[in-house]
Amino acid sequence: MKRLRAWAAALLAAVAAMMATSGTARTPLDKVPTQAARIRHVFIIVLENKNYTDTFGTSTQDPYLQKTLVPMGALLTQYYGTGHVSLDNYIAMISGQAPTPDTADDCVPGLIGTLGNYTDVAQAGWAPQGQVVATAGCIYPTRVKTLVDQMTRVGLSWRGYMEDMGNDPARESAACGHPVIGVGTDHTNTAEAPSTAVPLGDAYASRHDPFVYFHSIIDSKSCKTNVVNLSRLQVDLAQLRTTPNLVFITPNLCNDGHDGAGTGATGTTCANGQPGGLRSADGFLRTWVPRILASPAYREDGLLIVTFDESTYGTVTSSRNTTTGQTTVDITYAGQTCCDQQPGPNLAGVRPSATTLVSTPTVVQKLVFAGFGGDRIGAVLVSPFILPGSTSATPYNHYGLLRSLEDIFHVGGYLGYAADDPRAGYHLNTIGNDEAIFQHP
Amino acid sequence: MMRRSSSTRNHVRALLPQLVLGIGAAFGVAGRADAALSPQAELGRQLFFDTALSASGRLACASCHSPAHGYGPPDGAAVRMGGAALDQPGSRAVPSLRYVLNRTPVWSKPFIASPTERLLEGNEPPAGGFGWDGRFDTLQAQAAFPLLAANEMANRDPEEVARKLAAAPYADRFKRVFGATIFADPRQAFAQARAALAAFELEDPSFHPYSSKYDDYLDGRASLSAQERRGLALFDEVQGGNCAACHPDRKGADGSHPLFTDYQFEALGVPRNPQLRANADPHFHDAGLCGPLRNDQRGQKSYCGLFKTPGLRNVATRRVFFHNGRFHTLKEALRFYVRRDTHPAQWYPASGGVVDKFDDLPRDERGNIDVIDAPLTRSAGQAPVWTDAQIDDVIAFLKTLTDRDAAPAALSVSNLHLQR
């Protein structure tokens, strides 16, 4: 009996110590059966548009990712993006919402979506699992919540660190930067090269910053303090108490691999002249990952996740009619999914689909989406609690990532397609349950 | 920062001594002393107006980039005449230097890694750089061209420019700014002169006055007339004029006022201009980004015919439009946009009933010309997106972009610039 009291006292002291560290109350740890239960700080770096087989196989442009981070951590070989082209993936990661007709196309006007640009979602109702039925639009109404709203509610902190945001203040603000709602073109769709007024150029892209697509975030005063330029991260990493529980990092369009072929060859570089592709992405990781891994928060209870928004498993075929001189270009995405992913309520006619983008006497461009998924991308996890060099073939996608984080942070519920649907037998795997990669208790 | 809020602009105006300097008076300039300018910029101002730096002794930067005309051409000559005897025609129409200089990005062609996204999100055209073909990444580099071009200021080499600088009335000032021994190294003196010109162009408030009615409108200090509002709506209409797609007209995220250019390159298929001496040779083609003035992109055939999008501030004061100066009224220029495809015979020569559309480019390069973006998507026989009355509305709007100090270019072309 006495020994039991002593054990209980020790447990209470440990819990108290945890509470003192995080400043928040913890819910029971039984939801995460591995050492992932100890994670209190998650660092996510999202890169762009690379195939799993390139990133973790054939490419010679990312030696740091392949030869340093993968052996150091765990490789998720069956991690899938949830859509094409970009924005819908980021939105899935933090809200569990399936695409609208516009977010499915990066809110670029004049394509498949009906509104495009930076416009409010036109909501027509609700579908099961909290899905917004939307006829168009990109910015979700306040009642649509996100992971960071959940975290805020339970007293956990978060920040989105966006490289280049606000480099050109005429283009977007340096904090919570986004285009004016409903007005004109989203100029962040194109990287801006350096000029006298903007010596570093500006390759921030709103469509790679999920936080600015939710009124629950952009209408909050905290958006200005929580969605910030990447330059803030080094200061925040310096101390445990200044490091948010969730650190979400989006490199600029060059350093996330979106722009540039990575070779440096003339005509294939980023707007700022850098090589881009996996080469610049690898350089970004080589710069920032050591800083993260050296931070007190990571060393205490951190998890680093490096993944991509989507794959580029697509084919481009081109043929020329020698009689008419007309060239026909067909672009086909496979759009593969995993994890019983559902298309959501808004993709009728959008995914799958075949759309003629351009039709002129000289050129016809067709876009074909054979499926609605984002294809296989993979992910690397690094943590003091990870089994170094481990591999998991358990299927995951961005909805599963959201569910995993909701478990790790004990936010008390699941959003959108991160939630179970017992009627359909829908249930996602979560990384904290993956005993192939996390140390056992 | 060039784009300023109205309050900042008013503050700057209040600081400016309203003193007209003699060096600018010959050009009808409000060349104002401004304590805020750096010594380099003050020196650059003197260089900008100095005709003695040209072989003819009659041509300064300000001759073509007239401060009284928004730093654009003072009259309707398609190109300006230069050379030692002022008998050599320039290569292209003179662009305005107002507003855009410190916002012009270095020339770049962002390459989207994913081939599918390249097509889906748009294979962005090249953007930036100074000049119609963007071949200069810095103003210092750009300044060398007119100083040394045989059909402009026509100095033989940098040493000749340096000798003129050493003999100039401001030579002592030049030495004070750049060092007592600066003229011992003519190449260095040439480089510093160009740096001084760049400093003047970037610093002097006369390059960015933001004094148009549209600026007042954006600041809530003026209202647009009904006709101007109609013109603005037509300018913005994506499926109509679609002008704002390349000439953005909204405030920036920081409240800064628009410059009406996205700095991107575009192939419009402007008709060949028979007024240009070079065009007497049917085999000569000014293909812009792929040459002949620019050399580094000659192999990029898909770039042939592309020229950089100019800003539209003070466009209603101009009498010469497009890179080859083909049009001399704003109405003609706008009619070309909306009737290029619906009435091609109005713009291009015909032979045997066949219109030679896009005649200023070789046939194998005409596929580069924009037929995708409105209003350039229509076919012969269709109605233009604008009527003539609507064009008048758009012109009324464009006139609101005229700065208070910008005089209309002369209708006639001065003898100086017509000499052949």
Query: How open is the CA angle B257-B258-B260, to the nearest 5 degrees?
Result: 160
**Residue of chain B nearest A358, judged by CA positions:** B372
Residues A285-322: pLDDT tens digits? 999 999 999 999 999 999 999 999 999 877 888 889 98
CATH number of the domain that residue A148 is part of: 3.40.720.10
Query: Cα B18 to the chain's mean position, in Å?
Result: 27
Compare CB distances from A331 to B109, B120, B300 and report the shortest one's residue. Answer: B120
ipTM of the complex: 0.89
- By residue count, chain B amounts to 420
The answer to whether the Cα torsion of A28, A293, A380, A97 is positive or negative is positive
- The total of structural domains in chain A comes to 1
CA distance B105 to B129: 6
- Is A196 inside a domain boundary? yes
- Is A327 inside a domain boundary? no
- Is A69 inside a domain boundary? yes
Tell me where in chain B the CATH 1.10.760.10 domain(s) lie: 6-97+139-210, 213-399
User: Smallest Cα–Cα separation from A99: which of A431, A377, A341, A366?
Assistant: A341
Per-residue pLDDT of chain B (420 residues; tens, 9 = 90+): 222 222 323 332 222 332 233 444 455 444 444 558 999 999 999 999 999 999 999 999 999 999 999 999 999 999 999 999 999 999 999 999 999 999 999 999 989 888 777 766 556 789 999 999 999 999 999 999 999 999 999 999 999 999 999 999 999 999 999 999 999 999 999 999 999 999 999 999 999 999 999 999 999 999 999 999 999 999 999 889 999 999 999 999 899 999 999 999 999 999 999 999 999 999 999 999 999 999 999 999 999 999 999 999 999 999 999 999 999 999 999 999 999 999 999 999 999 999 999 999 999 999 999 998 899 999 999 999 999 999 999 999 999 999 999 999 997 665 444 333
Query: What's the CATH class of domain B213-399?
Result: mainly alpha
B-chain CB neighbours of A312 within 8 Å are 113-117
DSSP state of B72: B
Residue B125 half-sphere exposure toward CB, CA atoms < 13 A: 25
**Residue of chain B nearest A357, judged by CA positions:** B120
- Is A365 inside a domain boundary? no
Interface residue of A162, A178, A190 to substitute, partner B, most B CBs within 10 Å: A190
- Is A304 inside a domain boundary? yes
Report, in angstroms and rounded to the nearest whole number, the Rg of chain B calculated over CA atoms. 22
User: Smallest Cα–Cα separation from A270: which of B102, B106, B310, B246?
Assistant: B106
Interface residue of A47, A186, A196, A351 to substitute, partner B, most B CBs within 10 Å: A196
**Residue of chain A nearest B374, judged by CA positions:** A110
Compare CB distances from B124 to A48, A190, A273 and report the shortest one's residue. Answer: A190
CA distance B103 to A333: 38
CATH architecture assignment, domain B6-97+139-210: Orthogonal Bundle (1.10)
Do the beta carbons of residue A297 and residue A243 sit within 8 Å?
A: yes
CA distance A433 to A427: 13
- Is A18 inside a domain boundary? no
What confidence category does residue A4 fall into, taking pLDDT thresholds of 50, 70 and 90? very low
Q: What is the pLDDT of residue A342?
A: 95
- Is A351 inside a domain boundary? no
What confidence category does residue A187 fall into, taking pLDDT thresholds of 50, 70 and 90? confident
State which H helix or E strand residue B89 sits in.
strand B88-89
Assigned token pair, B29:
């300039």
Query: How open is the CA angle B89-B93-B99, to the nearest 5 degrees?
Result: 140
Q: Return the number of CB contacts < 8 Å for A and B.
A: 147
- Is A88 inside a domain boundary? yes
Assigned token pair, A291:
């800083």
The H-assigned helical ranges of B154-265 are 158-166, 171-178, 186-203, 213-218, 226-236
- 8 Å CB contact of A362 and B371: yes
